[in-house]
Amino acid sequence: MPRGQGSSVSTREKPKVGQAIGSAEDNRKHRRGAYLLLGLLIVFLHGSWTLYNIQFGNLPLPLDAEQAGKRGFSEASALEHVKYLTGLGPHPVGSDSLELAIQYVYAVAEKIKKTAHWEVDVQLELFHTDIGANRISSGLFKGKTLLYSDLKHVLLRVTPKYLPEAEENLILVSSHVDTVSTTEGAGDCSSCVGVMLELARGVAQWGHGFKSGILFLFNTGEEEGLDGAHSFITQHFTMAGKTPYHYMSMKCTSVTHPWRNSVNFAIDLEAMGISGKSTLFQGTDNWALESFAAVAKHPSAQVASQDVFRSGAIKSATDFQIYQEVADLPGLDFAYTDTTSVYHTKNDKMRLLKPGSLQHIGDNMLAFLLHSAASAKFLKDAQQRKQGNTEQDKAVFFDILLKHYSVRTIANFGFVKFILQCTDFPLYAVVVAFGLPYICQFPVPYVANPWLIIGLFGSPALLGAFIGQHIGFILLKRHLRRVYSRTKPGITLNMMENLIDLEAERWIFKSGFVQWLVVLILGTYFKVGSSYIALIWLVSPAFAYGFLEATLSPVRLPKQLKVVTLVLGLAAPVVSSAGLAVRMADVIVGSVVRLDRNPGGLPDWLGNVIVSVAIAVLVCFVFVYLISYVHISGDKKILGLLLSISFGLSLALASSGIVPAFTEDVARTVNVVHVVDTTGINDRNREPLSYISLFSNTPGKLRNELVDLGDEEFSCGRNMTIDFVTFTMKYGCWSYKDSNTGWSSSEIPVLLVESDSVTDGARETVISVDTKSSTRWSLGINKQEIDDFTVQVDSEKLVLLGDKSEIDGWHTIQFAGGKNSPTKFQLTLYWSSNAKQTSGRETKGAADLPFLVKLRTDVNRLTPQVAKVLEKLPKWCTPFGKSTSPYTLAFLTALRVNI
């Protein structure tokens, strides 16, 4: 080789090394300071909060009737309906107030019929259901049979007059009028009823151009186990030919045509909180999702909510389950999720409805209904679905900054838990979660002020994530030191250490790609719809890194990561998911107040651990790129100090009670029940045991609640166990003071053995059940002893043999109905071949034998002592209602296996 060429190569290489050295010196002089890093963190958090408010808090301007016009949607008009319904107070199934609510809905529907467009046919019906049995056994209903009777629904059908085919193709819009016994139900779901009435008024002006009809179903019984939707789906087509039904001043003709058979698509409106945006959280029809995305004025939809809801993490169900599983209908499910902590409590009240909430869902639904009902494609697809000629694609759906997107996919999406990476330590936040019950008055001190979780769990999680990542940073530097000593022996020690720092920083940043790639692979494998989030967090930072940092030259030495790389890389991920992350954290916090299905059955720290792990996972994955910029900044101590201050301040506010855990508007659930118990009494002449029971589904003992109840003689502990048949109170308080008044012995239910025989080795026992005046009850059957059973009313068998699931060895029959529901039933038990063949004469040790059947009956009445206790409870307490909760007066009785 000529010397000149060799000299030339040498000359070209030397400046590059010098340049690298110069760059290293510049990097040391211009390392990122604490203020820059703090600024990036503030921008990140503030940007996330701003996006959350834009995505979930930005509500449309409410319109009055004049502004909306004859064919638009007016929130002011819808609120008039909500005002009347909430003014009735709680209106559960069987109550006088629910009768008044149904009358009101029917009267408004009659006005809609009279004012409809002259080319629109509006049919109105009050549908009175027969007794029925709901046998769905998935989700919350595993191990149960749900019975109902004497339910009343209002049906309003809108079709064009001159297109008979539209009557054969109906879009169902459904919600429920009834509430639980503890709330007036402004959000759940008087707001839905008000929206539907206003939608029906507007739709009745547009229906002359429809190709499909729209059926509005105002049902009752949803709160008792989705009974209203089930009765419509299973009974409406069976009512043809029956005599007209007269209801007070309202005359309703019988069903001359099975409307249920004409329903091809279902829309359910629900509430798991109060107000805010009504978000699409379940969808099963791709065309409908795309149509909603195209025409909705203020789209709000998240497949992540569907993933969480269907995983069972949120213990709830909607009528959509009936429409999907029983009727096999495609459809969409919408719900309010703001302030979910007030769900089913006294605080679900009208004054907490945010202006614009009803306008939001009203505008969206009116646009979607007008588009769908007028669509020839919808009509064609509906007809093909009836014939079974179409395959329904599943879809990924989400909205970003008020824009909605729908992506086709053939996957059937489920739910998957995130796997925490070994470089991130959520341990610190979990340790805090375990400690909170011991240092705070309430184990969950952040329910009324969810922002406290930023300091209580977010700061320790971020500190733990940084420590975990920094350990990886140190180990990586050791490895790079060995590599550089072999490959770059001519570099000075100082220069090598600086290059190692820069190289390690880049690898820590790129480790985020691997982290999100693993999440994406797992999400795809387990068919999680929200896996698109992992894709965005992988692709966008990787693109920014490749565009601004990567090089194809192996000679070029590493430089410090640019701040613009971080900003550009995180822009799309933050915009796409920051609002959703804040919303999901808020929903999880709100759900903690009703986490325990069996009061006192779960440890006090469990709710905190769930919240802390969720926050830690969020921090570990979302901050993986941002934290990588801290390791060579020289300001790690300042970061640790700021996080420690944030944690200490939050802990001080929570433990001192300066920031209360519960307020009058976000209250702690405390149920007061007058219990009359005959389960431990063998002699019918003896008086039953009577006491006042106090329990809470929210974690924590009842010390603070009893401060003003000192003279009521309550005793608390885990020995105060009550089996309420569908769930067990494992920790609570009892008081026997003045508990012998407010009820009578004539209200005590009766379980009577009518016959007990053995034929060909098979034992069969017939038991008559008399619930007295109660039309709401739960009965448990011991499946360890009983193989199968039937239930009969008069000569009609409601529950047939076969297909009985169980939970913990029990199958539960749950009944709820109107005032005219039957109170006498016949239960036939078919014993297992392995059951104890014990006769009624063998009474030795009978008290120690297990129960064969156990029964709880409910009466919705305040006894004097319960009223006194409720009045003395602090204002930050509220009763919590659900389908399995007892009313304020409950009677317990049972039969043991030695019948």
- Tens of pLDDT, residues 24-35: 454 454 467 777
The structure tokens listed for 302 are 């998240």
d(CA 899, CA 92): 36
The whole-chain average pLDDT of the chain stands at 86
pLDDT for res 490: 78
Tell me which residue of 75, 50, 51, 71 sits closest to 62, measured CA to CA. Answer: 75
The structure tokens listed for 645 are 């201050």
Cβ-contact 612, 432 below 8 angstroms: yes
Cβ-contact 271, 344 below 8 angstroms: no
- Does residue 595 surpass a pLDDT of 70? yes
Beta 889-896 vs 671-677: how paired, if at all?
Answer: parallel
d(CA 698, CA 345): 13
Sign of CA dihedral 801, 805, 809, 812: negative
Q: What is the DSSP string of 152-166?
A: EEEEEEEEETT-GGG
Beta 120-128 vs 152-160: how paired, if at all?
Answer: antiparallel
d(CA 767, CA 626): 68
CA distances from 163 to 255, 266, 366, 374 (A): 20, 21, 21, 12
d(CA 641, CA 463): 10
pLDDT for res 684: 60
The structure tokens listed for 336 are 């309010």
The structure tokens listed for 536 are 């965005």
Angular region, 401: left φ>0, alpha ψ -120 to 50, beta rest = left
Which of 267-276, 576-585, 591-600 shows the lowest per-residue confidence on average (mean pLDDT)?
Answer: 591-600
**Bridge partners, 786 (sequence order):** 831
Q: Where are the beta strands (DSSP E) in 567-720?
A: 668-669, 671-677, 689-695, 715-717
**What are 866-892's pLDDT values in tens digits?**
999 999 999 999 999 999 999 999 999
- Does residue 2 surpass a pLDDT of 50? no
* CB burial of residue 374 (10 Å; 0-12, 13-18, 19+): middle
d(CA 46, CA 49): 5
d(CA 53, CA 807): 42
d(CA 491, CA 502): 15
Q: Give the mean model confidence (pLDDT) for residues 761-784.
A: 96
DSSP H/E element including 811: strand 810-817
d(CA 527, CA 627): 30
**What are 283-305's pLDDT values in tens digits?**
888 888 889 999 999 999 888 88
Q: What is the DSSP string of 330-398?
A: -EEEEEE-TTGGGTTSTT--GGGSPTTHHHHHHHHHHHHHHHHHT-HHHHHHHHHHHTT-----EEEEE
* Start-to-end Cα distance in the chain: 109
Q: pLDDT higher for 9 or 540? A: 540
User: How many Å separate Cα 435 from the centre of its chain?
Assistant: 27
Tell me which residue of 430, 421, 418 sits closest to 612, measured CA to CA. Answer: 430
**What are 513-547's pLDDT values in tens digits?**
988 998 999 998 888 888 999 999 999 999 999 99
The structure tokens listed for 243 are 């005599």
pLDDT for res 473: 85
User: How many Å separate Cα 811 from the centre of its chain?
Assistant: 25
**What are 442-500's pLDDT values in tens digits?**
999 999 999 999 999 999 999 888 888 888 888 888 888 988 888 888 788 888 888 89
Our CA dihedral for 877, 883, 889, 894, rounded to 10 degrees, sits at -130
* SS (HEC) of 701-766: CCCCCCHHHHHHCCEEECCCCEECCCCEECCEEEECCCCCCCCCHHHCCEEEEEEEEEECCEEEEE
Cβ-contact 220, 151 below 8 angstroms: yes
Percent of the chain with pLDDT over 70: 87
pLDDT for res 424: 44
**What are 74-96's pLDDT values in tens digits?**
999 999 999 999 999 999 999 99
CA distances from 734 to 113, 685, 687, 718 (A): 54, 24, 18, 11
Cβ-contact 881, 182 below 8 angstroms: yes
Q: Give the mean model confidence (pLDDT) for residues 748-758.
A: 95
Q: Give the mean model confidence (pLDDT) for residues 698-722.
A: 91
d(CA 825, CA 804): 19
Split at pLDDT 50, 70, 90, the class of 727 is confident
d(CA 102, CA 458): 47
Q: Give the mean model confidence (pLDDT) for residues 798-822.
A: 93
Cβ-contact 394, 288 below 8 angstroms: no
Report residue 647: phi and psi, to 5°. Answer: -65, -45
Full-model pTM:
0.90
pLDDT for res 352: 92
- Does residue 830 surpass a pLDDT of 80? yes
Tell me which residue of 286, 235, 628, 251 sits closest to 470, measured CA to CA. Answer: 628
pLDDT for res 257: 55
Q: pLDDT higher for 680 or 238? A: 680
| 3-class secondary structure, 121 | strand
